[in-house]
């Protein structure tokens, strides 16, 4: 039984994870600030409804930073996959939040436009 070695020109896990390892400090900082923001948001009545979101994203981001550092240091492929999977979740949630915000902005714009037209017609 022979063990197959990866091709010489294929990048190792450590090389692939280097950018995330280098950014891990920033990822932890943003994750911590997101958690703090979520806790502060939870202090308001309306904030209780949405406070879980920045807290969850902050925890995911800090976890991704830790996994990226582990993958870079040890060359562990599982840690690399876990780190990038957490980042994938963060990007998906952020994209959904932005889409919801844009849709709400468009609806408000239409409502204001309708109110302005309706107001000018009644005068």
CA distance 116 to 90: 39
Q: Read off the pLDDT of each residue in 9-23 and give the average, rounded to a whole number.
A: 83
**For position 120, what pLDDT does the model report?**
79
Banded model confidence at residue 10, pLDDT cuts 50, 70, 90: very low
CA distance 24 to 4: 32
Residues in the chain: 123
Domain ranges of the chain: 13-122
Q: Which two tokens stand for residue 84?
A: 């990038």
Q: Which two tokens stand for residue 115?
A: 């109110």
pLDDT of residue 8 exceeding 90: no
Q: Which two tokens stand for residue 116?
A: 């302005």
CA distance 31 to 23: 12
CA distance 62 to 79: 13
pLDDT of residue 56 exceeding 80: yes
Tens of pLDDT, residues 102-116: 999 999 999 999 988
């Amino acid at each position: 039984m022979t063990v197959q070695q990866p091709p010489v020109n294929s990048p190792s896990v450590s090389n692939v994870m280097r950018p995330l390892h280098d950014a891990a400090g920033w990822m932890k900082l943003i994750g911590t600030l997101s958690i703090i923001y979520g806790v502060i948001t939870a202090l308001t009545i309306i904030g209780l409804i949405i406070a879980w979101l920045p807290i969850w994203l902050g925890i995911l981001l800090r976890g991704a930073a830790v996994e990226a550092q582990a993958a870079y240091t040890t060359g562990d492929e599982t840690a690399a996959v876990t780190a990038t999977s957490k980042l994938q979740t963060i990007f998906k949630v952020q994209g959904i939040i932005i889409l919801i915000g844009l849709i709400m902005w468009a609806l408000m714009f239409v409502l204001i436009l309708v109110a302005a037209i309706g107001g000018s017609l009644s005068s």
